[in-house]
């Protein structure tokens, strides 16, 4: 740290005092950040209602504990779900379609009725609180790992800044408070990379063991973590290259990495009870692993052959392989972006989304570290290895077409924080003026982040107008994932709206309202009664939640207008006047037809509904409508 001290004059007493006691200030800042994390998370957990995926994970985790039924929601590995459901594992929950361990339950097919049953149970809020509270382990691990990594690599001043940035970053706080798998893979990936670099720096076998544990927890968190072992190897080799190690050291690193991978392999099997079968006490396969590939015409791809090989030789658990097959064949979904609907994603979605969703300090400091030569001269030995996971995760996301939320690139954020903390540390060393500028920038962004509490999920930085304008740019979990359902209900009750009002929520987790419920196809399919026809025009108050636009382009014209009122940090948009509902009405007619075709098997009625939807069919529905018309026509001829 002599270079840091040399940057200041002897007369600079406050700075000299800080530098003499930098470790004490660092640990004090860490303590403050731990308390702030608990307080901010408590506020988020108690203010935000169920998001779209949470009950799916909770019910699956509960079933794991009760039955060892890994065929329930195999789309995600079990780590986060087991931890979330641990506090409720002895509860008696109902709503499952079959006895313990008897049936495959996949999230896009069968678990919505289970989730709805839990949502309407008298203990739903208590259940959500316990599940969210238990998953605090991952934000805590991430905060501690980032602090100690920055401390080991750059010193206590950088560690202090990193702790502040990681604690108050709204996107990390929000997704770290939900019962999902995104924070689990983020924390475990960073920990694995941190330990990988330490394997090179310390050259002790204990770090390879720690690396194996972190790798095992990462791959047990989310299927996208299959790249993390490769990232760790590349990180080790890059770090060794920067330190100019000898040939024997490279051999030692590769051998240590192989040991870590074997340990990770064992840990993954442990989470599945060291059992291949997805269903307990079943000798027959629960899945045809090639069926998802054949359905999409991908049965001859390398991925399909690899999954088939692994399944044939039972090298990985059956449920894990079923999840791999699912994500490999579910590679795109419609995207709402800057006021338009797109049938699939595009390469620049995630860079733009990060520019909107991250605080200004993190963005500017990251850019400074990325492009300033002095930062690389001083810290390139560590920043080069740290850039590998950032490039791999962001590159994979940009290459893919599944652009539905910044949460899919959440693992890059801790590495951006490391870069930003390095930049801030450099500015503090450079001069008093640059140090003050960096401190002010961090302070203003912390203020911005704290001001967004407890609604951090819909955060947008000031460059893009904050949360109230986010609906113009992004949709889905970037702004509204169903977390504002309680606020919507309170708003409707406070306004005493009983007539001339219509509500579009885009979620199945909603309470009855006196207002007209506008179509959302999953809610329409799960409704106990056939949803009513919607008129082509409407006059009155229309309340739109941005999540609705993630599923249907019929609502996008509303988002391109200026709302009469905005509530709930941009999650409740109110419009008044006379509106053309022709596309919305067509959406409802399609939903009715789909319900009649799939559940009632009333082919004639389904074709009538599809014909009524045809003239004003929303853009998001056209291809699907034509497919369903062909299915109905074929079924009619067969009948």
Residue 469 maps to a domain:
no
Mean pLDDT, consecutive 10-residue stretches, the chain (639 aa), reads 41 50 87 96 94 91 93 93 96 85 68 78 90 97 98 94 97 97 98 97 92 98 95 96 89 95 98 94 87 89 93 95 90 86 90 97 96 94 96 94 91 98 92 91 92 96 96 94 90 83 84 84 84 94 91 91 95 96 96 90 92 93 89 75
Phi, psi dihedral angles at 297 (to 5 degrees): 70, 30
Res 111: pLDDT: 65
Residue ending a domain, choose from 118, 134, 150: 134
Q: Are residues 53 and 18 in the same domain?
A: no
Res 20: pLDDT: 64
Q: Are residues 433 and 313 in the same domain?
A: yes
Total structural domains within the chain: 3
SS3 (DSSP) at 502: strand
C-alpha 474/C-alpha 580 separation (Å) is: 23
Q: Are residues 427 and 544 in the same domain?
A: no
577: left (phi over 0), alpha (psi -120 to 50) or beta: left
Res 618: pLDDT: 93
Res 10: pLDDT: 39
Phi, psi dihedral angles at 282 (to 5 degrees): -110, 130
Report the 10 Å Cβ neighbour count for 141: 19
Q: Are residues 486 and 384 in the same domain?
A: no
Residue 468 maps to a domain:
no
SS3 (DSSP) at 539: strand
C-alpha 277/C-alpha 286 separation (Å) is: 7
Selection from 416, 405, 457, 450 nearest residue 176 by Cα: 457
Report the 10 Å Cβ neighbour count for 270: 11
Residue 471 maps to a domain:
no
Q: Are residues 389 and 501 in the same domain?
A: no
Q: Are residues 342 and 221 in the same domain?
A: yes
Cβ neighbors of 479 (< 8 A, separation 6 or more) are 457, 458, 460, 467, 470, 471, 546, 547, 570, 571
Half-sphere exposure of 236 toward its Cβ, with a 13 Å CA cutoff?
Answer: 26
Residue ending a domain, choose from 115, 134, 153: 134
Q: Are residues 150 and 210 in the same domain?
A: yes
Spatial contact of 247 and 416, defined as CB atoms under 8 Å apart: no
Quick check: bond before 454 cis, omega within 30?
Answer: yes
Task: Find tokens 């999920």 and name the residue.
Answer: 457
Q: Are residues 221 and 331 in the same domain?
A: yes
Helices 413-430 and 156-168, axial angle in degrees (round to 10):
130
Q: Are residues 544 and 429 in the same domain?
A: no
Spatial contact of 426 and 374, defined as CB atoms under 8 Å apart: yes
Residue 30 maps to a domain:
yes
Residue 472 maps to a domain:
no
Q: Are residues 37 and 52 in the same domain?
A: no
Q: Are residues 567 and 441 in the same domain?
A: no
DSSP β-ladder status, 572-580 and 565-567 = antiparallel
Cβ neighbors of 262 (< 8 A, separation 6 or more) are 212
C-alpha 282/C-alpha 201 separation (Å) is: 48
Residue 309 maps to a domain:
yes
Res 23: pLDDT: 84
DSSP secondary structure string, 309-324?
Answer: HHHHTT-S-HHHHHHH
Residue ending a domain, choose from 134, 150, 176: 134
C-alpha 4/C-alpha 20 separation (Å) is: 11
Q: Are residues 521 and 443 in the same domain?
A: no
Residue 445 maps to a domain:
yes
For the chain, how far is it from start to end, CA to CA, in angstroms? 81
C-alpha 489/C-alpha 127 separation (Å) is: 20
Task: Write out the H or E segment, with its range, that includes residue 581.
Answer: none
Q: Please, which residues bridge with residue 567 across strands?
A: 572
Residue 474 maps to a domain:
no
Domain limits at 412? 2-44+137-451
């Amino acid at each position: 740290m002599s270079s840091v001290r040399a940057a200041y004059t002897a007369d600079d007493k406050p700075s000299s005092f800080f530098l003499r006691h930098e470790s004490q200030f660092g640990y004090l800042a860490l303590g403050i950040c731990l308390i702030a994390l608990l307080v901010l998370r408590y506020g988020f957990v108690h203010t935000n209602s169920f998001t779209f995926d949470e009950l799916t994970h909770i019910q699956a985790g509960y079933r794991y504990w009760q039955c060892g039924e890994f065929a329930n929601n195999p789309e995600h590995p079990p780590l986060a779900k087991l931890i979330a459901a641990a506090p409720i594992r002895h509860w008696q929950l109902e709503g499952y379609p079959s006895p313990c361990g008897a049936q495959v339950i996949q999230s896009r097919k069968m678990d919505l009725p289970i989730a709805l049953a839990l949502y309407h149970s008298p203990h739903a809020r208590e259940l959500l609180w316990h599940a969210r509270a238990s998953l605090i382990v991952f934000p805590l691990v991430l905060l501690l790992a980032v602090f100690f990594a920055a401390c080991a690599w750059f010193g206590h001043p950088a560690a202090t800044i990193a702790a502040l940035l990681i604690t108050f970053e709204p996107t990390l706080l929000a997704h770290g408070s939900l019962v999902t798998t995104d924070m689990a893979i983020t924390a475990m990936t960073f920990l694995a990379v941190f330990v990988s670099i330490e394997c090179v720096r310390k050259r002790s076998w204990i770090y390879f063991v720690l690396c194996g544990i972190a790798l095992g927890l990462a791959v047990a968190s989310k299927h996208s973590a299959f790249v993390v072992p490769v990232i760790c190897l590349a990180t080790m080799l890059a770090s060794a290259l920067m330190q100019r190690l000898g040939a024997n050291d490279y051999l030692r690193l590769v051998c240590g990495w192989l040991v870590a991978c074997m340990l990770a392999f064992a840990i993954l099997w442990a989470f599945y009870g060291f059992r291949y079968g997805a269903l307990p006490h079943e000798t027959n396969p629960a899945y045809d692993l090639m069926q998802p590939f054949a359905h999409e015409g991908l049965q001859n791809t390398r991925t399909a052959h690899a999954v088939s090989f692994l399944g044939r030789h039972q090298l990985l658990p059956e449920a894990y392989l079923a999840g791999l097959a699912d994500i490999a064949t579910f590679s795109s979904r419609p995207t709402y972006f800057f006021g338009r609907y797109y049938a699939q994603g595009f390469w620049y979605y995630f860079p733009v989304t990060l520019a909107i969703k991250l605080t200004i300090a993190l963005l500017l400091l990251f850019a400074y570290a990325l492009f300033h030569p002095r930062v690389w001269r001083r810290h390139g030995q560590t920043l080069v290895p740290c850039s590998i996971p950032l490039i791999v995760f962001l590159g994979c996301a940009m290459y893919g077409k599944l652009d539905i939320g910044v949460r899919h690139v959440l693992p890059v954020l801790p590495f951006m924080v490391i870069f930003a903390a390095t930049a801030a540390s450099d500015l503090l060393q450079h001069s008093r003026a640059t140090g003050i500028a960096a401190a002010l920038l961090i302070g203003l962004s912390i203020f911005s982040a704290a001001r967004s509490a407890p609604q951090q999920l819909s955060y947008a930085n000031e460059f893009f107008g904050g949360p109230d304008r986010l609906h113009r740019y992004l949709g889905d979990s970037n702004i509204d994932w169903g977390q504002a359902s309680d606020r919507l209900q309170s708003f409707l009750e406070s306004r005493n709206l009983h007539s001339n009002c219509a509500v579009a929520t885009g979620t199945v987790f909603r309470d009855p309202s006196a207002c007209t419920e506008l179509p959302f196809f999953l809610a329409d399919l799960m409704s106990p009664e056939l949803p009513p026809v919607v008129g082509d025009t409407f006059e009155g108050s229309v309340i739109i939640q941005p999540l609705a636009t993630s599923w249907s382009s019929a609502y996008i014209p509303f988002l391109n207008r200026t709302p009469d009122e905005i509530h709930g940090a941009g999650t409740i948009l109110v419009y008044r006047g006379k509106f053309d509902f022709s596309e919305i009405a067509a959406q409802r007619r399609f939903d009715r037809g789909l319900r009649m075709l799939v559940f009632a098997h009333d082919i004639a009625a389904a074709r009538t509904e599809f014909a009524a939807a045809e003239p004003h069919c929303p853009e998001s529905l056209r291809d699907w409508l034509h497919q369903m018309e062909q299915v109905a026509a074929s079924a009619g001829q067969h009948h």
